[in-house]
Amino acid sequence: MLGIPFGFAGVKGIKSTGNKIKKWRDKLGLQKAGSYLAQMVRMQEEIGTGGGGFRYIYAAFLQEADAWLPGNGLAAVSVMFTQAGDLWRTAAVQAAGIYKGRISSQQDFDLMGNYLIEIAELEKEAFLVLKKIKWQ
């Protein structure tokens, strides 16, 4: 997630997508932007290729691993991934509101993009903590 050389994957890709979403309303129009968001939610939450569910599973794994390998900070990283999962779910609800036409202002798109940017920063921080662990 950290060392991927492409800007469209990993934490860079999450942040890049957040910045792009902020421009979709004016660039694509409400209907097409809504369709893009609907597809994004389907891919991350319903089909199961990402989003909150995987963050919760990984957080649970890290919590269990901390019981076997205490003192490495895995419990703290587990909390970070739980928070990331919560943000992914919040972002999915925001996206659903947009594509269902319940909300449609530029502020709504900005908030959606900001959720992804916040997720990217949180996950980057979590992966950096994991990367720095010295395994014995």
pLDDT of residue 79: 98
pLDDT of residue 106: 97
Instruction: Specify the pTM.
Output: 0.93
Find the helix or strand (DSSP H, E) in which 43 lies.
none
pLDDT of residue 47: 75
Helices 10-28 + 106-132 axis angle, to 10: 170
Residue the block writes with tokens 């991350």: 44
The one-letter code for the residue type at 127 is: F
pLDDT of residue 85: 96
Residue 103's contacts (CB-CB under 8 Å, 6 or more residues apart) are: 94, 97
Ranges of each domain in the chain = 10-131
Find the helix or strand (DSSP H, E) in which 106 lies.
helix 106-132
* pLDDT-wise least confident of 47-56, 98-107, 122-131: 47-56
- The chain-wide mean pLDDT, for the chain, equals 94
pLDDT digits (tens, 9 = 90+) for 1-40: 898 988 889 999 999 999 999 999 999 999 999 999 999 9
CA distance 86 to 104: 23
pLDDT digits (tens, 9 = 90+) for 41-87: 988 877 766 788 899 999 999 999 999 999 999 999 999 999 999 99
CA distance 86 to 79: 11
pLDDT of residue 94: 97
For 41-69, b where at least 16 C-beta lie within 10 A, e where not — what string?
beebbeeeeebbbbbbebbeebbeebeee
